[in-house]
Amino acid sequence: MIFDVKYAGKWVASKGNSVIDSAPTLKTLTNKLKDRKDSTKLIYTLIPKGLIAGSV
Amino acid sequence: MIFPYIEFRGFVEERIFRPMIPVTFEFGGKSVTTYALVDSGADYTILPIEIAGRLNLKLEGQINFEILGAGENSFRVYKSPENIKHIIKKRGFRDITCMAEVYFAESGVTTLLGQKGFLSSLDVNLRGKKRELEIKV
């Protein structure tokens, strides 16, 4: 799976190796995708804004 | 189970590879699957607080405290009121599951799989040269 910098700081929904959609908040993202039959099988990930080291 | 590292492109360095695995967090019939960073330096498993909402977990009145990051920056975390089921799935393998406490960070920027409850119950090997990690029960 590859995440591009354009998703930094956003929640991203992915399936397999593909990004399905993104949004600033998890709630917004899940609302956008709620009508998909596979919405509960997607992977929802918060993408770090930059490099990370021992902190969140 | 072997998982390839997750690649992040376009950050300060062109390509960053992180040992992240898909984990399903399940509680009370609700679940969220997210890529989570295996962080041997984290004492606890820490999730962005938005996931607590998805799992219908109420954090009001829960134990909360500050955790220090590597740069002495601190952030507040809230202990989950119940242990949360962790499920690691991979086609062709039996699911790996464990019940463990987690903490929710107000300012979380990613999900961290820490020592207590997760790494303490599994054998995880980082294969940096191959950019993959292996999990054994």
pLDDT at position A54 is 63
Taking the C-alpha atoms of residue B67 and residue B130, their distance in angstroms, rounded to an integer, is 32
What ipTM goes with this model?
0.92
Of A46 and A55, more confident: A46
CA dihedral B83, B20, B48, B96 (to 10 degrees): -20
pLDDT at position B69 is 77
**How near does any CA of chain A get to the CA of B124, in Å?**
18
- Judged against a pLDDT cut of 70, whether residue A56 lies above it is answered with no
| Of A4, A30, A54, Cβ closest to residue B41 | A54
Name the token pair of B58: 């109420």
Taking the C-alpha atoms of residue B26 and residue B72, their distance in angstroms, rounded to an integer, is 32
pLDDT at position B31 is 96
pLDDT at position B136 is 85
- A10 pLDDT band, cuts 50/70/90, is very high
Closest CA to A46 of B34, B23, B117, B118: B34
A38 and A51 in contact (C-beta within 8 Å)?
no
Listed in order, strand segments (DSSP E) in chain A are 2-4, 11-15, 18-23, 43-46
**How near does any CA of chain A get to the CA of B84, in Å?**
17
pTM: 0.93
Backbone angles phi, psi at B98, to 5 degrees: -155, 155
Taking the C-alpha atoms of residue B117 and residue A35, their distance in angstroms, rounded to an integer, is 35
- A6 pLDDT band, cuts 50/70/90, is very high
**Regions of chain B where pLDDT drops below 50:** none
